[in-house]
Amino acid sequence: MEVVWAVGQLGAAWLALVIGLVMLPSALGISLGISEAYMWVLVKTLEWATIRIQKGAKKPQPQMPRTPTANGIIERDETPMEKEISLLHRADFEFSHIFYFCRKGFEAIVEDEVTQRFSSEELLSWNLLTRTNVNFHYISLRLTVVWVIGVIVRYCFLLPLRFTLAAIGITSMIVGTTAVGQLPNGSVKNYLSEVVHLTCSRILVRALSGTIRYHNKENRPQKGGICVANHTSPIDAIILTNDGCYAMVGQVHGGLMGIIQRATVKACPHVWFERSEIKDRHLVTKRLREHVADKSKLPILIFPEGTCINNTSVMMFKKGSFEIGGTIYPVAIKYDPQFGDAFWNSSKYNIVSYLLRIMTSWAIVCNVWYLPPMVRKEGEDAVQFANRVRSAIAHQGGLTELPWDGGLKRAKVKDTFKEEQQKNYSKMLVRNGSVGSLSAETESD
């Protein structure tokens, strides 16, 4: 009985500490300086670790095979194919010319520019979280001791703290939105709904030790608009909701996520679709247009890529979000991988293992840029508008812009994509005179 009493007292003290020092300040939007001090110590520790690694790398090491670069597992010749083809066809055909195309084919098989976007980006220096970095060769005794201390801190202190905050935040979200949902529609209900969403999102951000820098806040999405952003992680929505409220769009889920969806939709006009409905593009467009037409409703938050990309690129935006009409508010999100990998490879990890990895990382640090609002130009179709918005987001976030569909994460390449690449290749040949010269030779023979 005494043991149970002692455990209860310890749990009560822990809960009081979490609520008093972390939850209440985060709910009120104030900081006691604890997060800033933690980040300062963390940055200094990682800087020291980097210096130790660099010093160790300068010492004589046994000869090892050449290691891959940080940007990939092979070195590529970045010369455009069109330029290479023009050089090849200046001279008479030689059998060795086919080696260029063979090399390009092998490069695409070993490491294409799409598949690598669905795996965690490689770090330039070890961040004391894992020993799998391909550029990390040297481990000193001091680094090993610091790594062990880091494991103890992350799993024995940070993980329980973050789990407690996450449980409080999720429970508060469910209870708060359910209570607000019982009120009649009106300004009071809308105000309280925004307070609940903002408060719970701030608690959840603290549960991730989140440090977020918002830039150009004057461009924040307004009611009746559509906010589109690049997609790296499920926590993207929490990152954005921490600074403003949005109406979410997504598919209905089961389990805990389903409970949260059913509770939040009572207080806020989120747009949830059944699995059968989301395949009906016209129905989706109709419901979103109805939402945007009401200027009193919160801006819709949409991730047009449709899947998570690994924080290095922006892939094709689905045109459906840009057929609705209204004002588009682009947002660029860029995470700092030095403190933790925010990317979720949903085809490899389930949500539980992903959240465990996130909650045992050092912190979630990211920058969010609000870009100037954009509208569809006269004569511009939805695809062109989507590409223009995507380019703006990629440029601001320092991300690579790729024309490929994120659906390739799970599906095979569509025939239309193959045909498009074949057409581009044939155009290169025509522009460089290869087809014309070949026809002339045939006629002369």
Tens of pLDDT along 365-391?
Answer: 999 999 999 998 888 888 889 999 999
Which of 67-81, 89-103, 182-196, 277-291 has the least mean pLDDT? 67-81
| Residue 294 pLDDT exceeds 90 | no
Residue 196 lies in a domain: yes
Q: Number of structural domains, the chain?
A: 1
Residue 194 lies in a domain: yes
Comparison of pLDDT for 389 and 55, the residue scoring more: 389
Residue 403 lies in a domain: yes
- Other C-beta atoms closer than 10 Å to the C-beta of 174 total 17
| Residue 202 pLDDT exceeds 60 | yes
Residue 367 lies in a domain: yes
Three-state SS for 427? helix
Residue 3 lies in a domain: no
Confidence class of residue 195 from pLDDT cuts 50, 70 and 90? confident
| Burial class of residue 221, CB neighbours in 10 A (0-12, 13-18, 19+) | buried
Q: What is the mean pLDDT of residues 82-91?
A: 58
pLDDT of amino acid 20: 65
- State pTM to two decimals: 0.78
Residue 49 lies in a domain: no
Residue 53 lies in a domain: no
Domain residues for the domain of 371 are 141-409
Residue 34 lies in a domain: no
Confidence class of residue 437 from pLDDT cuts 50, 70 and 90? very low
pLDDT of amino acid 371: 94
Residue among 255, 276, 274, 278 at smallest CA distance from 350: 255
Structure tokens given for 406: 């994120």
E-strand spans in 207-363?
Answer: 210-215, 226-229, 247-251, 271-273, 300-302, 313-314, 328-335
Structure tokens given for 407: 């659906």
Comparison of pLDDT for 158 and 131, the residue scoring more: 158
pLDDT of amino acid 112: 65
Q: Are 53 and 126 in contact (CB under 8 A)?
A: yes
| Residue 435 pLDDT exceeds 50 | no
